[in-house]
Structure 1
Amino acid sequence: MATASLARAEAESPRVMVTLFRPTLLLTPEIPAPRPMSRVLPGQVRRLDPESGRVGEAVEVGSAPAGIAVGKDTVWVANSLARGPIPVGAGPQSVAVGEDAVWVANGLSLTVSRIDVRTGVVTSHQVGDGPRTVVAGPDGVWVSNEYDATVVRLDPRTARPVRTIRTGASPRGLALAGTTVWAAARAFASPDHRGGTLTVLGWGGAAEYGTDPATVYESEAGLAISVVYDHLVGLRQVPGGSDLTLVPDLATELPRPTDGGRTYTFTLRRGIRYSDGRIVRPADFRRGVQRALTAGGGNPMFFTGIVGGAACLDHPGHCDLSRGITTDDTTSTVTFRLTAPDPDFLGKLTLLVVPTPPGTPTRKLGDHRIPATGPYRIGEYRKGERLTLVRNPHFRQWSYAAQPAGYPDVIRWTSVATAGEQVAEVIAGRADLAVHLNTHPGRLDLRRLALRYPSRLHMDPSFFMVYEVFNTRMPPFDDKRVRQALSYAVDRKRLVTLMGGPELASGSCQSLPPGFPGYRPYCPYTRSPSSDGSWSGPDLARARKLIEASGTAGAEVGVWTWTVEWSRRVADYFVDLLDELGYRATLHVVPEDTYWTTVADSDTGAQLMVNGWFPDYPSSATYFTPNVTCDGFRPGDGSNSVNFPEYCSPALDRLIASALAAQGRDPGEARRLWARVDRTVVDEAVQLPVANVRQVAFTSARLGNYQTTPGFGPLVSQMWVR
């Protein structure tokens, strides 16, 4: 049970620090005098008059302010998602002002930055795992590290740590009273929770898609091996922070690009070992990129912007990345050079590219396995049956947010045929966790399950979207009127029911899910469009008029899906709807492990396809590029083409490029541009959004510490078995 506590430490000389996430500190000049105004909106700072209660004018400080401090005549704001005039470390969340310096605690880069207020020079030093709060006093600066149970005193002149106090608990807040530092702390989970075997039941992804990190591009399989392999940059693997945040993983910091956005230089953490004992070297990342481009599978389009990357994709047997990726063992750095600026390059590095030691096959791994860097390694893999993970004896936790040590000794992923069987196995005590029940073959009576096991059924938000994708190059969907007709005719309430009901899914008319940057409710394809973007019902009359005008009635239409039952139910519905609208529809059901490459191959001629999409990384771009951009379509190449609609609009590509460029300089403008991109895709009816789907899991009586995030899914390694 978590408890709150206070720890007291005598301060030999207190001082301050701050925490930022994306290298940035925003300097806010002269907060205006107070005026009667109503509220403080996200991304703003306002001055509050304590006597009158009036609220001053808003000062824009970026999209994610995380800490604020007031100096003699300046207010300082740390921002975790916006670029400001003073770059600090990753994950800033606390700021303090001293006599001649401002201090920032950088929670994700594990550093504290000292900003000299006279010169603007920034110096940073590592202080521990999870710097959270920084305070500055007349004789010293103190920072709390929430993940390694320490409070550290810094030299106010150099920012170097000079004293570490172990608290025995997780220190969060700090306060100075004269020469005394007070720390508020929370208890850590008991070490007694370590051990045992955690059995996870899935629909088959973890056991079906292999274990090659360069080719695994499916959500369940990716979730399973996320505790085995690491990237230069990762997603936050613990709750408590923004799900739209990148964290340094095997790199010490999130670098700022140079050379006009075309060069990124990473410094590696030193001393990281593979599970076979070898040291991770900078050159191993060039080898990892080469495999991501040439191994066949995954999404190699992410890395064709690296100098030499496009040639590797076209000629995998002659892949040369020596100009695009340079490494230096002495400085422990990896430098990427791009052919053009790519504001999402850091996000793309959270997938597919892992350090790969010498001797690893360039293409198919066969029986070879890449050694692990995470807390687990692959113990056994039987395709279609199970994946077993065991502890990596050489793992040491370097960043709790990026890759925390796991609780179970063994994690076993097993495939089970239906959701009902999954639940029965968990109830019987033969398994501990059933995941992705909403995407599993077979319907499940969740309401009954919730009544009987209210604390063990978990239904949580996610960013998973389901679409019906039109092939915009094949009749009848090469005519926009036909695509719009189907969008008007569809009964979105019925689709939600087919997806499992409102407990599991919510209807949507657009590509972006709620909560993502740029999401603005918009639904023109409805009986009575309104300004609030809500759907009011199908408009069959308008749909029939559009079809009549197109002259396509009577055409044959193939509807493609795979074997997951919800996908089959949705596809059956569209077959019936197309028949009702005057077409001759046929259902094509393809095994799940070959479905994606089949429908992505333009030679297949798939016309209407079910597609489920989970964001690859925390950027709105992942819902559009390369899914609907010209470079995402590769004719006759099902392994490397992800633009299923085969859609190409140079105007849309330019709008997407503008939104990407704005992400670095003006997040507010970027959100507005992504909203325009979303509306354009809706207006062009490139795809028909079906629903935003929640994640559903069921746990055993002996499983504890269930955790999940919308952007990552169940945090399996952080659960324990009693």
Structure 2
Amino acid sequence: MGSSIYSISSLSRRGFLRGAGVGATVAVLSACGANERSVTSSATPTKGGTLTVLTSDTDINWDPGRSQGMAVTSLALVHRRLTSWRIVQGKEAKVVPDLATDTGKASNGGRTWTFTLKDGLVAEDGSPITSTQIRHGVERTFTASLAGGLGYHKTLLDGTSGYTGPYKGQHLKSIETPDDKTIIFHLKAPFGDWPWIVSMPAFAPVPLGDNPTTYTRKPVASGPYRVADYKQGVAATLKRNPKWTPSSDDVRTALPDTIVFSLGQESSVVAQRLIDDSADDHNSFGADMAPPARLPQVTSNPQAKARLAVGSAGPLQYLAINVERVKDIKVRQAIAYAVDRKAAATALGGEIGAAPATTYITPGIPGRQEYNLYPESTEKAQKLLNGTNVGQLVLLVSNDEGTMALAQAVGQALQKANLSVKINPVENETWVEKVTQSDGSDYDLTIASWNPDYPSANANLQPLFASSEIGSGGFNLGRYHNAEVDKMLSDVAALPMDEAKEKWAQIDRRIAQDVPVVPLVYRRNAFLHGSGVSGFFVNPFPAYPNYLVVGAQGR
């Protein structure tokens, strides 16, 4: 489910660092203090006009069954779900009702969840939005041709083994629709984060009788916008959906009359256009992160700098230690003490590029607690290693510029602690295979990035540290297996969200004691927008703009 963390039209949790600028730009960026500016646009929110989203993507998939998109990006303009996220500047993300009247009622010890739809919901084609359409939307994700979307529900719902979708008349017994407004989900085990799960694209209504091969181009909208025109590789144009009722929707402001996704745009060219802020570009923003090579030009220009939204933190970049090869915990602790997080941040552009990281749970996630078990100390690292023959450590990394810069910073810090490190750069596809599919024999250390799919600490911790996530495409890159931690993860996942918050922080610290991963930095995502764009800000989570509240206006 991987994709670059630089594009947000198809965001996923597994982001691999791409093209982070290094070298001459670092000193300039650090000195400019771009992150000191407000991260929100100053334009007055105005209803109407055309908003343009400039993206390097050459295609946008509008089929919710195949989407990995977050609840605040492109797909959510067209498709509503049972719940959504309330993203307010400076506040933690909150799960809120969307199509449903509430965030779900749990019963049967947390194994059963019931949702009731709001009154008067109507789709773009004039048909009532029903519980059966939502069930169909979920069931069709089990069809082989619709693989690739976020699939948490596939492992959480009961009785899904062998199920291949609804198109031959088969339905999941674990999803009940006793009437048009009620939908009931039966889970394999209690899961307190289910209200977050039903905010994912799969829980958008899809009318029965859809054609799964063409629905990505001709979706039936439940949100404030419909896909009015689509030109492959050129543009996707959204127009207002007249059947959408603002009184039923608390998260979408739907300010622009038209939203145009301009496809296949080169990010450096986009940055220059937004710096110039001429013609229609004043009502545009970049879907991709601002290229680091352009940032000195941005920060030296007061007008452009005022239109650079920079998050205070974001996705976690980390050093995974293969515990099956680096078995001595004292060696792993020494690595943690030896790592120079400030040098790692500098490698990614200084203050504007990244912030030093000390926890696995990322900023902006409810329940996160700040701590640092291993503050930088080369002396402590050397003391722990005294008399230990570690041998040469192989640091396997994807060979893109940003990851290589991090690898060099990590290697230099470990060498100061008398650890020998061999950096082994490979193509990204090879890296993914070696760290997620193989037996882990090719590396002692590796560098990766993680952005959770939804705002829960469970989405930070379970994918990275549950033993079930070792190999077979899982992302437990430290190959960490601890029965105590597995039980803690399972037990806390069963709790209601409010009860789980503090316990997630405790698990974060417990895992850190075993040092399967060393946090390096929280990536600071930076995005440019035109002077006519309103409601544009970047929170620590999701670390990307909230498309649902962005507006445009004339000069």
CA distance in 2, matches of 1:497, 1:281: 52
CA distance in 2, matches of 1:383, 1:598: 34
Give, in angstroms, the shift of residue 327 of structure 1.
0.7
Please tell me whether the aligned partners of residues 275 and 394 of structure 1 are also in contact (alpha carbons under 8 angstroms): yes
Give, in angstroms, the shift of residue 459 of structure 1.
2.4
Please tell me whether the aligned partners of residues 308 and 321 of structure 1 are also in contact (alpha carbons under 8 angstroms): no
CA distance in 1, matches of 2:183, 2:74: 27
CA distance in 2, matches of 1:397, 1:538: 55
CA distance in 2, matches of 1:316, 1:284: 12
Query: 2:468 — aligned with what?
Result: 631
CA distance in 1, matches of 2:481, 2:223: 40
Matched, 1:229 2:79: yes
CA distance in 1, matches of 2:89, 2:380: 49
Structure 1 gaps of 5+ residues are 1-188, 527-536
Query: 1:344 — aligned with what?
Result: 193
Matched, 1:687 2:517: yes
Please tell me whether the aligned partners of residues 231 and 250 of structure 1 are also in contact (alpha carbons under 8 angstroms): yes
Please tell me whether the aligned partners of residues 309 and 321 of structure 1 are also in contact (alpha carbons under 8 angstroms): no
CA distance in 2, matches of 1:449, 1:225: 35
Query: 2:381 — aligned with what?
Result: 542
Query: 2:553 — aligned with what?
Result: 721
Structure 1 residues 716 and 317: CA distance shift in structure 2, 3 A? closer
Q: TM (normalized to structure 1)?
A: 0.61
Matched, 1:461 2:312: yes
> Counterpart of 2:458 in structure 1: which amino acid?
A
CA distance in 1, matches of 2:447, 2:168: 36
Structure 1 residues 705 and 617: CA distance shift in structure 2, 3 A? closer
Please tell me whether the aligned partners of residues 298 and 304 of structure 2 are also in contact (alpha carbons under 8 angstroms): no
Equivalent in 485, 489, 493 of residue 338 of structure 2: 489
Q: Deviations over 1:33-54 (max 9, x none)?
A: xxxxxxxxxxxxxxxxxxxxxx
> Counterpart of 1:720 in structure 2: which amino acid?
A
Q: SS where residue 502 of structure 1 aligns?
A: helix
CA distance in 2, matches of 1:359, 1:512: 42
> Counterpart of 2:108 in structure 1: which amino acid?
D
Structure 1 residues 616 and 548: CA distance shift in structure 2, 3 A? farther
Structure 1 residues 645 and 292: CA distance shift in structure 2, 3 A? farther
Give, in angstroms, the shift of residue 361 of structure 1.
5.3
Give, in angstroms, the shift of residue 692 of structure 1.
2.1
Give, in angstroms, the shift of residue 425 of structure 1.
0.9
Query: How many pairs align?
Result: 500
Structure 1 residues 557 and 466: CA distance shift in structure 2, 3 A? closer
CA distance in 1, matches of 2:96, 2:461: 23
Give, in angstroms, the shift of residue 289 of structure 1.
1.9
Matched, 1:519 2:368: yes
Query: 2:398 — aligned with what?
Result: 560
Q: SS where residue 585 of structure 1 aligns?
A: strand
Matched, 1:651 2:489: no
Alignment of 1:192-341 (within 5 A): 193-202=46-55, 204=56, 207=58, 210-217=61-68, 223-236=73-86, 239=88, 242-294=91-143, 295-312=146-163, 321-330=171-180, 332-341=181-190
Structure 1 residues 296 and 698: CA distance shift in structure 2, 3 A? same
Equivalent in 357, 370, 386 of residue 207 of structure 2: 357
Please tell me whether the aligned partners of residues 468 and 687 of structure 1 are also in contact (alpha carbons under 8 angstroms): yes
Matched, 1:613 2:458: no
Matched, 1:425 2:273: yes
> Counterpart of 1:600 in structure 2: which amino acid?
T
Give, in angstroms, the shift of residue 655 of structure 1.
1.7
CA distance in 2, matches of 1:209, 1:597: 26
Please tell me whether the aligned partners of residues 299 and 305 of structure 2 are also in contact (alpha carbons under 8 angstroms): no
Please tell me whether the aligned partners of residues 508 and 690 of structure 1 are also in contact (alpha carbons under 8 angstroms): yes
- Bigger relative contact order, structure 1 or 2, given CA contacts below 8 A and separation 6+? 2
CA distance in 2, matches of 1:681, 1:230: 36
- Percent of counterpart pairs with the same letter? 26
Give, in angstroms, the shift of residue 321 of structure 1.
4.8
CA distance in 2, matches of 1:382, 1:243: 37
Name whichever structure is richer in helix by fraction: 2
Q: SS where residue 624 of structure 1 aligns?
A: helix
Please tell me whether the aligned partners of residues 124 and 222 of structure 2 are also in contact (alpha carbons under 8 angstroms): yes
Query: 1:97 — aligned with what?
Result: none
Please tell me whether the aligned partners of residues 484 and 543 of structure 1 are also in contact (alpha carbons under 8 angstroms): no
CA distance in 2, matches of 1:212, 1:602: 32
Please tell me whether the aligned partners of residues 140 and 166 of structure 2 are also in contact (alpha carbons under 8 angstroms): no
CA distance in 2, matches of 1:344, 1:357: 27
Please tell me whether the aligned partners of residues 449 and 457 of structure 1 are also in contact (alpha carbons under 8 angstroms): no
Equivalent in 530, 533, 554 of residue 703 of structure 1: 533
Please tell me whether the aligned partners of residues 471 and 606 of structure 1 are also in contact (alpha carbons under 8 angstroms): no
CA distance in 1, matches of 2:318, 2:231: 31
CA distance in 1, matches of 2:510, 2:232: 41
> Counterpart of 1:585 in structure 2: which amino acid?
I
Equivalent in 586, 609, 613 of residue 424 of structure 2: 586
Please tell me whether the aligned partners of residues 559 and 575 of structure 1 are also in contact (alpha carbons under 8 angstroms): no
Q: SS where residue 407 of structure 1 aligns?
A: coil
> Counterpart of 2:547 in structure 1: which amino acid?
V
Q: SS where residue 675 of structure 1 aligns?
A: helix
Give, in angstroms, the shift of residue 545 of structure 1.
5.3
Give, in angstroms, the shift of residue 335 of structure 1.
0.7
> Counterpart of 1:683 in structure 2: which amino acid?
Q
Structure 1 residues 367 and 248: CA distance shift in structure 2, 3 A? closer
Query: 1:37 — aligned with what?
Result: none
Q: Deviations over 1:640-697 (max 9, x none)?
A: x344444332211222234334545x63xx4432222111222222222122233422
Give, in angstroms, the shift of residue 275 of structure 1.
3.0
Q: Deviations over 1:556-614 (max 9, x none)?
A: 442235x4x534432444466677732332112327xx976775333686644443333
CA distance in 2, matches of 1:436, 1:498: 23
> Counterpart of 2:65 in structure 1: which amino acid?
A
Equivalent in 240, 256, 262 of residue 391 of structure 1: 240
RMSD of aligned alpha carbons: 3.7
Give, in angstroms, the shift of residue 387 of structure 1.
4.4
Q: SS where residue 349 of structure 2 aligns?
A: coil
Q: TM (normalized to structure 2)?
A: 0.77
Q: SS where residue 274 of structure 2 aligns?
A: helix
CA distance in 2, matches of 1:327, 1:553: 60
Q: Deviations over 1:377-401 (max 9, x none)?
A: 3345567765443333432324342
Please tell me whether the aligned partners of residues 517 and 674 of structure 1 are also in contact (alpha carbons under 8 angstroms): no
Matched, 1:601 2:437: yes
CA distance in 2, matches of 1:498, 1:471: 23
CA distance in 2, matches of 1:469, 1:285: 39
Structure 2 gaps of 5+ residues are 1-43
Q: Deviations over 1:86-126 (max 9, x none)?
A: xxxxxxxxxxxxxxxxxxxxxxxxxxxxxxxxxxxxxxxxx
Structure 1 residues 254 and 545: CA distance shift in structure 2, 3 A? closer
CA distance in 2, matches of 1:514, 1:656: 20
Give, in angstroms, the shift of residue 307 of structure 1.
1.4
Please tell me whether the aligned partners of residues 63 and 215 of structure 2 are also in contact (alpha carbons under 8 angstroms): no
Q: SS where residue 390 of structure 1 aligns?
A: strand
CA distance in 1, matches of 2:89, 2:411: 44
